[in-house]
Amino acid sequence: MKQAFIFSFLLCSLLFSQNEAPKPEWSHTLIAGLTFTQVSHTDWVQGGENALAYTFTIDGKSVRDVTLLNWSNSYKIGYGQTRLGSKGLRKTEDKIELESVLTYKMGTHINPYVSATLKSQFDDGFKYNDAAGTKVQTSSRFDPAYLTQAVGVGYQPIAQVKTRLGAGLREVFSGTYGYADDPATATIETSKVEGGLESVTDLSWQFEENILFTSKLEMFAPFNNLDVVIVRSDNMLAAKVSTYISVNLTVQLINDANVLARTQVKQSLAMGLTYTLL
């Protein structure tokens, strides 16, 4: 009887192992966020302005990880507006960021890769002069758009840090606002292609169970002028207050002499709803 029980157990274990579903090659994450602020005054003697503000974000990632290859695709989308008093709605957030990185795993810390990134926006952008009551349009839908393609080697010293270095092509598309124009020529170019060196470093550090710091540093140096480095840095400190409520502090830096001689800085602090869809 004992031998029959052991034989039956081993047979069931063998059948279960053969019928067990294989580990999926793709893994997906998708997080949506919404922040909303509204203030209204009626006969309020202390004064103040009516205000309305909202921001909607989507942060997703799809990764295919097999024996020899890792294909990582990320997408970040955000849009927000604010209204203060009678000034009308104004854009506060507008981004489209897509990235795809295919890595060949050689079994070491250093592995070759090919990548492509696209950065642009959904809506028109304006520079406002409230004192004069004027505004100047500085950008529009998908203008400008930046496409970078690169090939090189990646290095991951620890689980929290990934960095890669390669040679790439950076393409700038701008139909109206001159972001792709070469001032040395008489004609106005609507596209520009530059070859150069690309460096991208990603940091993701979980300080506490509910506190996460992420940072991405991107640099591109054209071959014809290696001293002029285009730098972009995106940093976020996210604290999860509860299952659906989080507080996010973001700081973005852009140093691109082709657009502006000074470093562009954008900082935001927001508390709102987050929901994990996948």
Q: 178 — alpha (psi -120 to 50), left (phi > 0) or beta? A: left
| Mean pLDDT value of segment 31-43 | 89
| Mean pLDDT value of segment 96-110 | 92
Grade residue 23 by pLDDT with cuts at 50, 70 and 90: low
Q: What pLDDT was estimated at residue 47?
A: 83
The CATH number assigned to the domain holding 63 equals 2.40.230
Q: What pLDDT was estimated at residue 182?
A: 85
| Percentage of the chain modeled with pLDDT above 70 | 92
105: which residues sit within 8 A by CB, 6+ positions away? 67, 68, 69, 70, 111
Domain of 134, in residue numbers:
26-276
Average per-residue pLDDT for the chain: 88
Alpha-carbon distance 129 to 148, whole Å?
A: 34
**Model confidence at 9: pLDDT above 60:** no
Report pLDDT digits (tens) over 192-244.
999 999 999 999 999 888 999 999 999 999 998 888 899 999 999 999 988 88
Q: What pLDDT was estimated at residue 233?
A: 96
Asked if residue 47 is part of any domain, the answer here is yes
**Model confidence at 258: pLDDT above 50:** yes
Asked if residue 263 is part of any domain, the answer here is yes
**Model confidence at 18: pLDDT above 80:** no
Grade residue 273 by pLDDT with cuts at 50, 70 and 90: confident
Greater pLDDT, 86 or 59: 59
**Model confidence at 270: pLDDT above 90:** no
**Model confidence at 137: pLDDT above 80:** yes
| Residues listed for the chain | 278
Secondary structure class of 4 (helix, strand, coil): helix
The neighbouring-strand residues paired with 93 are 80
**Model confidence at 28: pLDDT above 90:** yes
Asked if residue 156 is part of any domain, the answer here is yes
Asked if residue 98 is part of any domain, the answer here is yes
Asked if residue 8 is part of any domain, the answer here is no
Alpha-carbon distance 274 to 157, whole Å?
A: 31
Asked if residue 11 is part of any domain, the answer here is no
Asked if residue 12 is part of any domain, the answer here is no
Greater pLDDT, 3 or 51: 51
Grade residue 10 by pLDDT with cuts at 50, 70 and 90: very low
272: which residues sit within 8 A by CB, 6+ positions away? 33, 34, 35, 36, 55, 245, 246, 248
The string of DSSP codes covering 221-275 is EEGGGTTS-EEEEEEEEEEE-SSSEEEEEEEEEEE-TTT-SSPEEEEEEEEEEEE
Q: What pLDDT was estimated at residue 12?
A: 45
**Model confidence at 35: pLDDT above 60:** yes
Contacts 24+ apart (CB under 8 A), 204-209: 204/160, 205/160, 206/160
Min mean pLDDT across 10-14, 82-86, 181-185 is at 10-14
Q: How many domains does the chain have?
A: 1
Asked if residue 89 is part of any domain, the answer here is yes
